Amino acid sequence: MEVEQIRLPQRGLASFILRSALPALAVLLAILGGPAWEGEAAEIRVTVDFPTDGSSFARPVPRALIAGHAQVHGALMPALDLAIVIDRSGSTANPTGADIDGDGMVGEAKKLLFPFSLKHLLESRSTDPDDSVLAAELVGARNLLKSLDLTHTRVSVISFGKNYVPRWGKDDLLPDARLEQPLTSDPQQIQEALVRIGASGALGGTNIAAAIREATLHLTGPRASSPAQPGAKKVILLLTDGFPSFPAGAPTTADPEDIILALRAASLARQAGVEVHTYALGPKVTSAPFALTEIARITGGRFNPISDPAQIIYRLKEFTFAQLKSLGVKNATLGQPAEQVALGPDGAYIAVVPVKAGINQIEVTGQASDGTQGGASVLLNYLSGGEPELALRPTKREMALRPTPKSFDELQLELEKEKKRWLELNHKTKELELKAKEKGKPQPQLEIDLEVK
């Protein structure tokens, strides 16, 4: 469901935090790191795409922009229990702007004739409902299913939203999150569950706390409908185009209580040994990703921002279970690390590295969550004038591959945006930490009570 801005309770942020934020602060300050699992060693593939190895530049500069990719390949697990959690809230009925179903027609937004009545439930928001955000989520799940080794993997499917009708408000006729398919290795049963979600359509708000709790219960708790796999890694893939907007406060607003409840659910998942990897679909949620980034951080998962929701049909199947734990970029000639490094969810990185006049060896090293390392290096020559040395003179093809000044500036802008986003995230976390210190009381220890609704 589409959500506007965060609304603070009338009693004020300070009193709210004193009453309910301490458990969440225990979440925010939790030590991260997922449980280890055995399997084949991952392979780290690192490339430096720009500048190319041996590039020469006619004049020296104090720093250089380095861009490339660092990805994990070939990591397999002996056992995996995976919960695919699909957002079916009302906003997922909106068109993606792409031809998801491949029928040659692209669905467009359609004005609702009865936006504030029960009749709006029967109206489609798109001229082609099969091109909606929900449709893209389901296609992405099907594509992921094709890439999984079901001899070692069991999959469950959960959908979530919140029953809400304008003017009538919330109702509890149906659960906010429901199990569509228990853990199974039968692809036919999983496909049928995805079909049922598509047939039920999109409706209501976004109860992310209920979604995480329900998935955790069926992966680890007393509601698990399948026998446990010894040593299996437990993972939740949470797809959503919205912010937490239920169960507290207004249905179209991300209230602080909703965010706190979502983070507490993430803490329970983490204590139960479950990783949550979040996928933010669309520009609205990727522009304010605090809740989803924290959910991933708390559980040792990854936050995946996807500004174009149609891309989930490709991005979900690219998910790798061996994580890129760290990426280091340095000028080995100077012995100095990069001043800034930004790593995207698909492994693309950009970095600002100090350089000197003459030859510089730039090294990029990546490390996976299982300790595997890989790297790449390039030699760059910055001349004070004249022609480059013959050995380092770039070929015509290398010159053609160099980005234009405009694209170079765009890379720098992307780096600054990434840096700003993380600074904002850290600022919000520090604010909560400060409020906890002002309170001066010990943080209560969170207990796993998976039966609590």
Question: What pLDDT sits at residue 91?
Answer: 84
340 & 358 share domain: yes
161 & 49 share domain: no
Question: What pLDDT sits at residue 186?
Answer: 94
Helices and strands counted in the chain (H then E) = 10, 17
341 & 309 share domain: no
Q: Flag whether 437 is in a domain.
A: no
Contact 361, 115 (CB under 8 A): no
197 & 340 share domain: no
257 & 331 share domain: no
Residues present in the chain in total = 453
145 & 225 share domain: yes
Please, what are the averages of pLDDT over each run of 10 residues along the chain (453 residues)? 37 36 38 38 83 88 90 66 92 87 82 50 66 94 87 91 55 73 94 93 84 93 70 92 73 74 94 95 85 93 92 85 80 95 73 94 88 91 64 42 45 56 58 63 44 39
Residue 377, Cα to own-chain centre: how many angstroms? 29
Question: What pLDDT sits at residue 177?
Answer: 87
Question: What pLDDT sits at residue 159?
Answer: 95
Range of the domain at 338: 43-74+323-402
Question: What pLDDT sits at residue 411?
Answer: 55
The enclosing domain of 107 has a CATH number of 3.40.50.410
pTM for the whole thing? 0.58
Question: What pLDDT sits at residue 30?
Answer: 40
69 & 86 share domain: no
Question: What pLDDT sits at residue 267?
Answer: 95
The enclosing domain of 390 has a CATH number of 2.60.40.3780
Contact 318, 105 (CB under 8 A): no
70 & 216 share domain: no
331 & 359 share domain: yes
Residue among 131, 126, 127, 129 at smallest CA distance from 98:
131
Question: What pLDDT sits at residue 192?
Answer: 96
When divided into structural domains, the chain yields a total of 2
176 & 295 share domain: yes
Question: What pLDDT sits at residue 34?
Answer: 38
Question: What pLDDT sits at residue 425?
Answer: 57
378 & 300 share domain: no
